């Protein structure tokens, strides 16, 4: 038994926060040439190993690119620049205490030249997040701890961003360790301007009869680590019913518009089941085709030939216990020629423009529920066509006779 593999390209965005010094604020550094002062020639930057930290104090570094500062001051969550306590500079390595409260903290560092009365001062800010709480993991799928499929897709979420997540699996077949789970999506909170919930998945995990214990290891951006266990038991005793099938297209009696080949699409409840299609053409010839089944149960029987006339199709679905479902339909290859041009789409694309041809002006073309514009040369164009979600986008064109409610189809 085999199932399709899908290649996922994952990425993450790290949002950096910075606070800028604001000359002229009450209690803050004055702008140059005010009250006879000299503008500061100091230029420097602050750096830390990680913006997310789980321990106090936090080591920081200063890189001076201009000027010759002698003193430095540190403020945490305060802009009381006038009340700052000054000390001798320590550029290479100094430590900042963020306090006990977890969350974001603004660390202001000031450098100054000459005497205590001098206004030749520059402040820079670095924003740090103190996080001592280990990440919390919630497993959402499989929904039940009793599973009846030999392969599972393990899904869950964490309410904060993750640096890494992996799992170990122990079952009757032995032990496998350090199996990577993948963060598939993140929620960006526009109130706090940071990523929060991370949704993750372990793909195509083979399980064996009896208990299958997963040990998850998750590390957040601050380096806090969580280890947690969950056990799923594979039990086939309740798997007695034939697999459920839902046909998308074509269905019984569908007329296929003069194409050399087509794809039979549908859905099965068990994505580990074997799906095959038998085609009996108008000459009585029978051929068997294997379907591609995706993780969400969608199946595709590709490159089915379409001889003119009536063709008989039989879909057979068999699960791991030998339970079988069979569905029979007929399709008719029409002499009408309707084509759809290949349409590339991107992962985040919601709408597309789809084009094609038809060899009759007596029909109206619809694509995914959008009415197309027919040109005099037989070409057609449909704009703002919704792009289906998921790993595969489908554009299905239908030709409805103009005598059927003006090409809009029979009203319900």
- Give the per-residue pLDDT at 22: 40
CATH topology for 43-130 is Immunoglobulin-like (2.60.40)
How far is 127 from 191, CA to CA, in rounded Å?
17
Residue 19: its pLDDT value, please?
A: 53
In the predicted structure, residue 240 carries a pLDDT above the cut 80? yes
Tens of pLDDT along 113-131?
865 555 678 999 999 999 9
pLDDT bracket for residue 40 (50, 70, 90) = low
83 phi, psi to nearest 5 deg: -95, 10
* Residue among 217, 324, 319 at smallest CA distance from 273: 319
Q: What would the pLDDT profile of 138-185 be if each residue is shown by its tens digit?
A: 999 999 999 999 999 999 999 999 999 999 999 999 999 999 999 999
Tens digit of each residue's pLDDT (9 = 90 or more) over 290-314: 999 999 999 999 999 887 788 899 9
pLDDT at site 328: 96
Average pLDDT over residues 362-387: 93
What pLDDT does 258 receive? 66
The CATH homologous superfamily for domain 138-234 is Immunoglobulins (2.60.40.10)
Say how many CA atoms lie within 13 Å of 52 toward its Cβ. Answer: 18
pLDDT tens for residues 80-96? 999 999 999 887 778 99
Q: What is the pLDDT of residue 35?
A: 39
Confidence at 192, pLDDT banded by 50, 70, 90 = confident
Report the C-alpha gap between 66 and 224 in whole angstroms. 38
**Residue 39 pLDDT > 90:** no
pLDDT greater than 90 at residue 343? no
Q: Are strands 58-66 and 261-268 parallel, antiparallel or unpaired?
A: unpaired
Element (H, E) at 367: strand 363-367
| 35 φψ region: left (φ > 0), alpha (ψ -120 to 50), beta (else) | left
Of 321, 313, 386, residue with least CA distance to 351? 386
> Tokens 């189809």, residue?
409
- DSSP code of residue 68: -
Q: What pLDDT is attached to residue 115? A: 53
Q: Domain 245-334 class?
A: mainly beta
Q: In the predicted model, what is the mean pLDDT of the chain? A: 86
**Residue 186 banded pLDDT, cuts 50, 70, 90:** very high
User: pLDDT tens-digit profile of 18-31?
Assistant: 454 443 333 344 44
């Amino acid at each position: 038994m085999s199932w399709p593999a899908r290649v996922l390209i994952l990425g993450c965005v790290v949002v950096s926060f910075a606070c800028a010094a604001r000359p002229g604020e009450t209690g803050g550094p004055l702008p140059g040439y005010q009250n006879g002062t000299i503008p500061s020639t100091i230029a420097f930057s602050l750096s830390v190993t990680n913006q997310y930290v789980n321990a106090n104090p936090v080591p920081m570094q200063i890189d001076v690119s201009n000027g010759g500062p002698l003193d430095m001051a540190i403020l945490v969550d305060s802009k009381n620049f006038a009340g700052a306590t000054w000390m001798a500079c320590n550029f290479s390595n100094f430590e900042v205490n963020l306090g006990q409260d977890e969350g974001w903290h603004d660390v202001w560092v000031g450098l100054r030249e000459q005497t205590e009365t001098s206004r030749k001062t520059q402040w820079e800010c670095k924003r740090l997040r103190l996080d001592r709480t280990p990440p919390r993991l919630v497993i959402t799928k499989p929904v039940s701890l009793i599973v009846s499929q030999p392969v599972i897709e393990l899904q869950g979420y964490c309410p904060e961003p993750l640096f890494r997540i992996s799992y170990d699996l122990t079952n009757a077949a032995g032990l496998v360790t350090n199996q990577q789970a993948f963060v598939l999506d993140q929620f960006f909170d526009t109130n706090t301007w940071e990523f929060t919930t991370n949704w993750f998945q372990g793909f195509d995990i083979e399980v064996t009869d009896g208990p299958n214990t997963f040990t998850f290891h998750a590390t957040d951006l601050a380096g806090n680590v969580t280890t947690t266990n969950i056990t799923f038991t594979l039990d086939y005793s309740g798997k007695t019913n034939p697999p459920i099938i839902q046909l998308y297209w074509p269905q019984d009696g569908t007329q296929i518009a003069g194409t050399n080949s087509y794809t039979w699409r549908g859905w099965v409840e068990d994505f580990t089941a074997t799906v095959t299609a038998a085609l009996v053409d108008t000459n009585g010839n029978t051929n068997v085709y294997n379907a591609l089944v995706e993780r969400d149960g969608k199946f595709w029987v590709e490159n089915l030939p379409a001889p003119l006339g009536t063709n008989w199709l039989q879909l057979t679905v068999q699960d791991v216990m030998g339970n079988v479902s069979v569905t029979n339909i007929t399709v008719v290859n029409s002499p009408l020629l309707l084509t759809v041009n290949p349409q590339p789409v991107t992962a985040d694309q919601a709408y597309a423009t789809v084009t094609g041809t038809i060899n009759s002006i007596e029909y109206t073309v619809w694509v995914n529920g959008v009415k197309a514009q027919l040109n005099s040369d037989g070409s057609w164009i449909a704009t703002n066509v919704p792009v289906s979600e998921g790993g595969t986008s489908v554009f299905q064109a239908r030709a409805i006779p103009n005598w059927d409610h003006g090409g809009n189809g029979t009203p319900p």
